[in-house]
């Protein structure tokens, strides 16, 4: 499996394309808001000869969902999130203009992710792991053969995601994955 990353929008959000030797491709957290960002993502997909087969969101905060409808319009693929993040996704249109994003085009998922049930594309199998805290329906995608985690905003390079959000239980999620790797206590 190959991971190709892009940094999009004013939040510097990370969008990922996962693809393998079959050229099938999954788009995770498309943050492409501006037309130029959308075209850059599309140009890469075309240049690599990839076939987009699935759209996934790790969670549905504004910066991770800007490009969902663009991907759906362009590739007509299934769109999956964790059901606990549906209200988060549906809230984005109410506040996007106040964040300076008046042209946000909302998208509805076509189905829901179930932790423990794999997501497959091409020859690749991803484990779906539930990691609530940063968002109520936050999931991470784990590829065991390469020990790769696509974690959304649960982990950042050298740090963890925000734990000060309402209902934040992310510390529990992180300890479930790596109980001996986190200093205690974390605030």
Q: What is 2-177's CATH topology?
A: Metallo-beta-lactamase; Chain A (3.60.15)
20-79 per-position pLDDT tens digit: 999 999 999 999 999 999 999 999 999 999 999 999 999 999 999 999 999 999 999 999
Q: Are 38 and 21 in contact (CB under 8 A)?
A: no
Average pLDDT over residues 69-93: 98
- pLDDT for 187 equals 31
Phi and psi at 52, nearest 5°, equal: -70, 125
Domains of the chain, residue spans: 2-177
Q: How far is CA 105 from CA 72, 81, 85, 139, 153, in A?
A: 11, 17, 17, 23, 22
Which residues are bridge partners to 66 per DSSP? none
């Amino acid at each position: 499996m190959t991971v190709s990353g892009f940094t999009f929008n004013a939040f510097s959000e990370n969008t990922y394309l996962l693809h393998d030797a079959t050229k099938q491709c999954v788009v995770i957290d498309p943050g492409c808001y501006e037309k130029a960002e959308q075209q850059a993502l599309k140009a890469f997909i075309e240049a690599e000869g990839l076939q987009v087969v699935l759209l996934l969101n790790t969670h549905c905060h504004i910066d991770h969902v800007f490009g969902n409808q663009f991907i759906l319009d362009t590739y007509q693929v299934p769109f999956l999130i964790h059901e606990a993040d549906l209200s988060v996704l549906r809230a984005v249109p109410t506040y996007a203009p106040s964040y300076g994003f008046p042209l946000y085009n909302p998208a509805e998922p076509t189905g829901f992710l179930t932790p423990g049930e794999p997501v497959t594309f091409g020859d690749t199998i991803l484990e779906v792991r539930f990691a609530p805290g940063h968002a109520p329906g936050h999931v991470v995608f784990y590829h065991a053969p390469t020990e790769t985690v696509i974690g959304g905003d649960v982990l950042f390079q050298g740090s963890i995601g925000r734990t000060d959000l309402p209902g934040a239980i992310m510390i529990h999620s992180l300890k479930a994955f790596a109980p001996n790797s986190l200093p205690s206590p974390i605030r």
